Structure 1
Amino acid sequence: MLAPNFKRRLSGVTSTIIQLVPVQNRLGQQVAVIGPGLPESLPHVRFRDLWRLWQAGPDGRPRVWHARRNIEMLPGIILRDLLRMKLKLVFTSASQRKHSGWTKFLISKMDAIISTSNKTASYMALPSDVIMHGIDTDRFSPAADKADAKRVLGLDPDQKYVGCFGRVRRQKGTDLFVDAMIPLLPQNTGWSAIVAGRATGPHVEFENGLKDKVRAAGLSERILFVGEHTNINEWYRALDLFIAPQRWEGFGLTPLEAMASAVPVVATDVGAFPELLVVGHTGDITERDNLAAMIETAGPWIANDEQRSNAQSAARDHVAVNFTIEGEAASLGRVYDRLTACV
């Protein structure tokens, strides 16, 4: 199986490939990557070695070209249909909008289509397999001791923390999170808030405006901007509640990462979020781009210790059963096997 990545810039698609390929290979799927911007630790195929695709794979089966963008579907079509290489083409989509005519054409040439959510599948003109993303539930796991998890990060072990993690920008709803915390924290004196993530380019001024707003509200010591961290799994363990305030999202892994860490989640109704949470059991869903609704939904979760406590283990169990990266890889393997069995 080949996993092409033809964009140099790090994106959600690139991250998916980086996380999945080692797991797929542990499961015996023999996946190699092709293209720039990927770690050398992954098995690579060089462009000059693509001539080998004229040969059948193991047991005389065709190989699989698994595209995740238009720019990767088109080369697969050329290799299979014009150069007559022995390939089966798979496309995974996380898009939740109507496709252009060009994209529809490319998708129509695929041998199999995968949607990352039922909502994404509803935008497909052709049938697709729904395979949701999974996460590493060993990396994202509950804290053995919540107070110690806070102390390690320099946080107050006696405070409760609500977090919002990801890129700092309007699309991600960081401003909605901050605007919700400004009235909620004074009502809940034992709580503080954490914004973890990086603002880049034009979004730096957006972040600076949020910090100014926090200072004006006198909450600089309780709404913390901690920047980007490679040990983000440790920051999840320190949380008591997670909020995913996005205005738009293709899929969105942060609710899964939080729930795997035994942290209840309040998320907006975007991306796959409504399909990831069990409302009232692992967290709650609120209307996108609606500050009043976010305050109304998050407030009871902040105030109700019993509700959060009940949701902690439920959230962890929900992800461990339904959203592991091993489960995602196994589902992909079944699609590959189905295709390559049809020579």
Structure 2
Amino acid sequence: MPNIGITCYPDQGGSGVVATELGLHLARHGCEVHFISSHLPFRLRSYATNIFHHPVELPEYPVFRSSPYTLSLATTMHDVARQHDLDILHVHYAIPHTASAFLAQQMLQPTNLKVVTTLHGTDITLVGQEPSFFPMTRFLIERSDAVTAVSTFLKEETVRVFGVGEDMEVIPNFVDPRLFLPVQESELRRRLAPKGEALLLHASNFRAVKNVPTVVEVFRQARARHAVRLVLVGEGPELKGIRRLVREQGLQDDVVFLGPSDNLEEILPVADILLLPSRHESFGLVALEAMACGVIPVATSVGGAGEFIVDGSNGFLRHPQDVGGMVEAVDGVLGNPALKLNMAEDARRDATLDFGASCVIRQYLDLYEGLLSHQG
């Protein structure tokens, strides 16, 4: 099995979650996995066999306004690759991680070290399209030994915007069905819904793209029809405004702010419906994780969520501005227990069969094997 270096953003967010879970599963398959990041990824909660972490040291010099993380990361990648005989540097998020990996690879020349870049979304749809980053992002895609995208939507967007990447492989995000499971009753559910209310849930990094005011509006309208509460998980730049909006709407007694969490597998199963009305989602990992827990997603139709959500079957897809359509979907589920049960069962089945960790990890292993069989 290959020795693999993995770099990701270690804080909460879909790319960091996927990268960390990928590393953990690869280690169970016998790979030696070295995480290279500013600090320990939040999903690495305890010691695991074949897992190692190498923190990036950030020197401070008066001449620098801020420490040049990209260069420090490249140096750490170089050192780890040389000391531990890495076969692959697998970086998640093109900017700046692929830039660092490319520099490390060049410093090690001649070398058989391969660079794999996985595109997750905003590195292409937002960051990469910034004029100052556009040519660099395109260059790094072209110079990676292999590029993967987490959805067909993201691959097509990359090709459309940058004019490169036609040969990239789509390897979707995945869920561990042993970790994300339905639960019938829990103490957390009783605390969040003390009167037996239905629970709507939203989990994100609370950035503008997540369209959280629409979550609040859908809840406000649903609350007028049903005994329901809203659970908000996460933190981010929009959170302060959402707290203010909740107070202004007089909803504070029925909205629970749980803050950031590294145990989403314990929180998701208590919900009845997940709300994810993002302006766009390259994939929408939290919706897939919710489905594995038997929670019905009402998600954005813009982006890649439609690659695993079948509207009206295992969840609902609505345009991010279609508040009425989202409320109608919520009404349909909360007002029809038989429909809710059937959709929850279909959601769990589809998420775990088609996007279970075992089959997706196999795709990554096949990618690595193909790269390493053509060394030279």
Return the TM-score normalized by structure 1: 0.85
SS at 1:171 equivalent: helix
Residue ranges of structure 2 left out of the alignment (5+ in a row) = 56-74
Unaligned runs of 5+ in 1: none
- The 1-side partners of 2:76 and 2:341 are apart by 56
Residue in 2 that maps onto 1:275: 307
Counterparts of 2:261 and 2:77, CA distance in 1: 38
Please, which of 203, 211, 221 is the counterpart of residue 238 of structure 2?
Answer: 203
- Determine whether 1:131 maps to 2:171: yes
Contact 1:6 1:71 in 2 (8 A): no
What's the offset of the Cα at 1:55? 9.5
Deviation at 1:169, TM superposition (A): 4.5
Conserved? CA contact 2:119–2:148, under 8 Å: yes
**CA shift in 2, pair 1:175/1:53, >3 Å:** closer
In the TM superposition, what is the alpha-carbon distance from 1:6 to its structure 2 partner?
6.8
Distance (whole Å) between structure 1 residues aligned to residue 290 and residue 321 of structure 2: 21
Q: Which moved more, 1:250-259 or 1:13-22?
A: 13-22
Which range moves more in the overlay, 11-20 or 127-136? 11-20
- 2:4 corresponds in structure 1 to 2
Task: Tell whether 2:118 aligns with 1:92.
Answer: yes
Q: Per the alignment, in what secondary structure is the counterpart of residue 136 of structure 1? A: coil
The 3-state SS of whatever aligns with 2:333 is: helix
1:237 aligns with 2:276: no
Distance 1:183 1:317, change over 3 A: same
Partner of 2:369: 337
Residue 200 of structure 2: SS of its match in structure 1?
A: strand
Residue 120 (str. 1) matches residue 160 (str. 2): no
Amino acid at match of 1:310: N
Q: Deviations over 1:84-124 (max 9, x none)?
A: 22212211112353752221111111221111000011123
Within 1, Cα distance between the matches of 2:82 and 2:234?
45
Call closer, same or farther: CA 1:175–1:335 in 2, change over 3 Å: same
Name the aligned partner's letter for residue 173 of structure 1: N
Q: Does 1:212 align with 2:247?
A: yes
Secondary structure at the counterpart of residue 249 of structure 2? helix
> CA offsets, 1:132-191, max 9 Å, x none?
111222221011x2476622x352363222222223454322210111121222222xx3
State the 1:328 CA deviation: 2.6
Cα separation, 2, equivalents of 1:52 and 1:43: 11
Report whether the alignment pairs 1:314 with 2:346. yes
Give matches, 1:1-343, under 5 Å. Answer: 1-5=3-7, 11-38=13-40, 41=47, 42-44=51-53, 50=78, 53=81, 63-68=87-92, 69-81=94-106, 83-95=109-121, 97=125, 100-122=134-156, 123-124=158-159, 125-126=164-165, 127-143=167-183, 145-146=184-185, 150-151=189-190, 153-156=191-194, 158-188=196-226, 191-200=227-236, 202-215=237-250, 219-343=251-375
The amino acid that maps onto 2:248 is: K
The 8 Å contact of residues 274 and 285 in structure 1, kept in 2 or not, is answered as yes
More relative contact order in 1 or in 2 (CA 8 Å, sep 6+)?
Answer: 1
Offset at 1:296? 3.4
SS at 2:320 equivalent: coil
* Residues 198-236 of structure 1: CA deviation (Å, up to 9, x unaligned): 444x53431222222331xxx443343343444432332
* Structure 1 pair 181–76 and aligned structure 2 pair: CA distance change class (3 A): closer
Partner of 2:60: none
For 2:53, give the aligned amino acid: H
Contact 1:4 1:72 in 2 (8 A): no
User: Conserved in 1, the CA contact under 8 Å of 2:151 and 2:282?
Assistant: no
Decide whether aligned partners of structure 1 residues 272 and 214 sit closer, same or farther in structure 2, where only a CA change above 3 A counts: same
User: CA RMSD for the aligned pairs?
Assistant: 2.9
TM-fit CA distance, 1:34? 2.1
Which stretch has the larger CA shift, 86-95 or 13-22?
13-22
Distance 2:204 2:53 in 1: 29
Provide closer, same or farther for how the CA distance between residues 112 and 154 of structure 1 changes in structure 2, counting only shifts above 3 A: closer
Cα distance in 2 for residues equivalent to 1:45 and 1:229 = 24
Q: Which amino acid aligns with 1:86?
A: N
Within 2, Cα distance between the matches of 1:179 and 1:237? 23
**TM-score if structure 2 supplies the norm length?**
0.78
Paired amino acid for 1:102: M
In structure 2, how many angstroms separate the alpha carbons of the residues matched to 1:269 and 1:77? Answer: 35
Of 119-128 and 91-100, deviating more is 91-100
Contact 1:2–1:34 at 8 Å: present in 2 too? no
Task: Tell me the amino acid that sits aligned with residue 214 of structure 1.
Answer: Q
Paired amino acid for 2:103: I
CA distance, structure 1, for counterparts of residue 349 and residue 276 of structure 2: 20
